[in-house]
Structure 1
Amino acid sequence: MDDTERSLNLAEDVVRLAKKHGADDADVLVAAGTEFEVTVRQGQIDRLIEAGSKALGLRVFVGGRPAISYTSDFARTVLDQLAQDTVERAAITDSDPAAGLPDADEWRTQFEGDLMLDDPALSDVPNDTKIEMARRCEAASFGFDPRITRSDGATCSTEVGVRALVNSRGFGGGYRTSGASLQIEVMADDEDGKKRNDHWYSVERFFDRLEPPEEVGRKAAERALTHLGARKVPTRAVPVVWENQLAQRLVGIIARAASGEALHRRQTFLMDLEGEPVASALVTIIDDPLIPGRLGSRPFDGEGVTSRRNELCVGGIFSGFLFDTYTARKTGRRTTGSAVRGIAGAPSVGTSNLFMEAGTASFEEIIASVEDGLFLTDLMGFGVNITTGDFSQGAAGRWIEHGKLSYPVTEINISGNLQEMLRGIEMIGSDLFFRGSAGAPTLRMARLMVSGL
């Protein structure tokens, strides 16, 4: 019996215990695995962690009243007491007609195709190899330029594990999962002693798909160096080009506004805009959990609902919201298989592999199209209101002059409104960049207000 089967059997046992103690319905999520993490600083091991973990989350419903508990102790007596306590707690919570498991027609127990969720070779990668990768990464940063003076450490981490979900209505599914990452943050000093830092990282399901350590280290160093000599700029409205890895954050903001939770609370600028143009005709945004090998891929969501590809925006037209079972019932819709769930909490609406489709313009063409504007590489702060669409955040990047990247800029703020920003996308790059479970290409927006601080 492998780890997935053991986890499924355990989940089934706990569902039976919950039913025995009076639950009308129940589901159980089991997660178990091992992780390794090493941080190298100044060539020496600064931190090393190697550990295993296991946890179980139980959700029960009694007369429409939900309750959730979790434990990392799998002893039979502990699990029996957990089930009893959770059922008793549900009996004293408020009833909610929308609470409950998904309908049976929303799931299946047989899954087609290989989503490549597990790297079978990862468990055989020696820890010494991971340590050496971190060392090589840091050495590449220091060796790139003498102005790189400090490292906050290069970290290599891996994890392998299993997730299993079972409910009392006949659903049961599980799968093995894996992940690996390599990251570093470095600091550069200029001749006046001013310091600037930046980072780079690579994260993948498969260890051999990570960017080479030398490349990760070099990119972090290059990015830190580009900040040296940064200037302020006067306030004005100019075209703004979003770096592809930063544009991922913009796509994530749109997904928050397209959440069924935001719709239910009436806290989204996308309210009443389904089927309407909300962006440039160049814009298509997809959430797809069925891309083989991606970190957000999964055969079913956090409630067991069969995964499906969801279109948020196609050709600038807003296609619709993402729902889990609860928000779908609250708004009179059907779940889109978009539930995410941790061990200790209730399911909520989330994304899987979220990305904006690539366009046709090269990065060089986009930069060359700007006579005077900003190449945006970083955002800071929390100035996004998804209810109104108002956007205002601290930023950094490089100025564009006569179609070429010029000096770095800092201590600026960019502001606008999300609807206007989306409608103002004039060019989309062919350089779709995925990191983890998010992807985006380079974007050019017609005009945003850039304010000096």
Structure 2
Amino acid sequence: MTRSPEELCHALLAAARSAGAEAADAIVVRGDAVEIDIRGGKLEKAERAESTDLGLRVLMGQRSAIVSASDIRDETLAAMAERAVAMAREAPEDPYVGLADPADLVQGADVAALELADPAAEPDPQALQADAIAAEAAALAVDGVTQVQSAGAGYGCSTVHLAATNGFSGGYVRTSRSTSCVAIAGSGTGMERDYDGDSRTFQTDLRAPEDIGQSAGERAVARLAARKPATGSYPVLFDERIAASLIGHLLAAANGAAIARGSSWLKDSLGQQVLPETLSVIEDPFRPRISGSRPFDAEGLPTRRRAIVENGVLTGWTLDLASARKLGLRSTGNAARGVSSGPSPANWNIDLTPGTASRADLIRDMGTGLLITSMIGSTINPNTGDYSRGASGFWVEGGEIAYPVNECTIAGNLRDMLMRIIPANDARDYLSRRVPSLLIEGLTLAGN
């Protein structure tokens, strides 16, 4: 009889105690996934993956070690524990390592309220194939599309359980359903490519594949005959598709691990203004059916809704236990981990305060400038916040989109850029990071 992830976690802890561990925690992830790819209306790839992955961390005083495996036999669990204990005895001491205080552990987490798993049955592979075919056909029906690079559909279900010798034991099931399409327009050196896709927890929430394919095709065609824009200082509008990356840089700089290392351009900014005073960044791990929701973190601590930035002011760091101890603070319940790595700070669902103007309003108001719809590469100095990225999108003249552009670079400093952002009101409610299109005046643009 196959043991559940919960049973495997407790078997790992028992093996760790038998091997001499002073304390330990374990994570087991059992997953099933189906992926279908279509090309030319025919099945190109059909994959099904089933796996059970185990991770064990043991502690010997202030020393620790982590081992992982994908074999659930008892002898493997025993060997994992023995190897981890032997490794921990030789590891350097870390004064900040350790499990959570039992008094701080989550109590009575309401997993059901988060709706992390769709109760509907796993879709039949033929249903996934039909969605991929429909997306491809819709893209090819767009005038100007010459081929579809890929069209696919997938489904995944994972069961996660964590347990520790401090008494914590908890887990949940998470599902996902997705459809995607990459379309190519033009030919030869004039080819352009763009995409669209959707991924949801519940299958009934997923956008129609025809909509996804058509959108991918229209986006690719709109990029045809792109040219380099002029060099200079211009307003830049980050499209909603990529605007979350800007807030991502802010979150990375407020990560407790970076702060503890002293390698963050925000390290001396706690309690200072980092965004316009009308804007806040709220973390909310309790949004139903959203991929970033979770009832507790990887150390068994309760997650909570909190303001990372409130009315423009940076209020705190994102902390797991180790980074909190280094900084003399308390964990914010933001530990994440995999089976082969220890806990580290990570953010859950994020909301940036939306504006009142639409994306079209911001395009009209920017006059002459750049609308960015995709970015490549990045050079970001974590200590200074200096920012440089390749970009493509559309040139705006007289408040209207004039022509597509590519092969340009935008540059600035994140501290200055974030203080000047003007948000639109077009954030998608179903994304884990709800960030609308963002307008920034006066960025350096290198083109012709």
Q: Does 1:130 align with 2:131?
A: no
Alignment of 1:53-452 (within 5 A): 53-112=51-110, 114-123=113-122, 125-145=123-143, 147-189=144-186, 194-425=190-421, 427-433=422-428, 436-452=431-447
Q: Distance in 1 between matches of 2:142 and 2:350?
A: 34
Q: Distance in 2 between matches of 1:397 and 1:352?
A: 29
Q: Distance in 2 between matches of 1:317 and 1:102?
A: 29
- Runs of 4+ aligned residues of structure 1 deviating over 3 Å after TM superposition are none
Q: Distance in 2 between matches of 1:9 and 1:347?
A: 22
- What CA deviation, in whole Å up to 9, does each residue of 1:364-410 have, x standing for no partner? 21111111111111111121122101001111111111111111111
Conserved 8 A contact 2:100-2:166:
no
Q: Which runs of 5+ in 2 are unaligned?
A: none
Alignment of 1:3-82 (within 5 A): 6-82=4-80
- What CA deviation, in whole Å up to 9, does each residue of 1:335-374 have, x standing for no partner? 1111111111111111111232322111221111111111
Question: Which stretch shifts more, 97-106 or 132-141?
Answer: 97-106
Conserved 8 A contact 2:290-2:430:
no
Q: Distance in 1 between matches of 2:368 and 2:75?
A: 69
The TM-score with structure 1 as length reference comes to 0.95
Letter in 2 for 1:9: E
Q: CA deviation at 1:433?
A: 2.1
Pair 1:9–1:203, CA change in 2 (3 A): same
Conserved 8 A contact 2:11-2:77:
no
Letter in 1 for 2:406: T
Q: Distance in 2 between matches of 1:261 and 1:334?
A: 13
Pair 1:434–1:412, CA change in 2 (3 A): farther
Letter in 2 for 1:299: P
Letter in 2 for 1:229: A
Letter in 1 for 2:444: M
Q: Distance in 2 between matches of 1:333 and 1:33?
A: 35
Q: Distance in 1 between matches of 2:426 and 2:55?
A: 40
- What CA deviation, in whole Å up to 9, does each residue of 1:137-159 have, x standing for no partner? 010000111x2112221111111
Q: Distance in 2 between matches of 1:449 and 1:434?
A: 31
Letter in 2 for 1:173: G
Over the aligned positions, Cα root-mean-square deviation in angstroms equals: 1.6
Conserved 8 A contact 1:202-1:435:
no
Q: CA deviation at 1:434?
A: 5.1
Q: Distance in 1 between matches of 2:329 and 2:137?
A: 54
Q: CA deviation at 1:193?
A: 5.6
Q: Distance in 1 between matches of 2:350 and 2:248?
A: 8
Q: Distance in 2 between matches of 1:292 and 1:72?
A: 31
Q: CA deviation at 1:310?
A: 2.8
Pair 1:122–1:144, CA change in 2 (3 A): farther
Q: Distance in 2 between matches of 1:355 and 1:376?
A: 21
Q: Distance in 2 between matches of 1:135 and 1:380?
A: 29
Letter in 2 for 1:149: T
Pair 1:35–1:79, CA change in 2 (3 A): same
Equivalent position SS for 2:114: coil
Q: Distance in 2 between matches of 1:373 and 1:387?
A: 29
Equivalent position SS for 1:141: helix
Letter in 1 for 2:229: V
Q: CA deviation at 1:282?
A: 3.0
Q: Distance in 1 between matches of 2:189 and 2:430?
A: 33
Q: Distance in 2 between matches of 1:74 and 1:54?
A: 8
Pair 1:45–1:126, CA change in 2 (3 A): same
Pair 1:165–1:116, CA change in 2 (3 A): same
Q: CA deviation at 1:57?
A: 0.4
- What CA deviation, in whole Å up to 9, does each residue of 1:231-252 have, x standing for no partner? 1122111111111111011111
Q: Distance in 1 between matches of 2:285 and 2:98?
A: 23
Q: Distance in 2 between matches of 1:315 and 1:380?
A: 31
Q: Distance in 2 between matches of 1:11 and 1:64?
A: 22
Q: CA deviation at 1:194?
A: 0.8
Q: CA deviation at 1:122?
A: 4.1
Equivalent position SS for 2:132: helix
Letter in 2 for 1:104: P
- What CA deviation, in whole Å up to 9, does each residue of 1:69-127 have, x standing for no partner? 1111111111112111111110110111101112223322411361000001042x222
Question: Which stretch shifts more, 356-365 or 35-44?
Answer: 356-365
Conserved 8 A contact 1:203-1:436:
no
| Pairs aligned (count) | 447
Percent identical residues: 34
Letter in 1 for 2:173: R
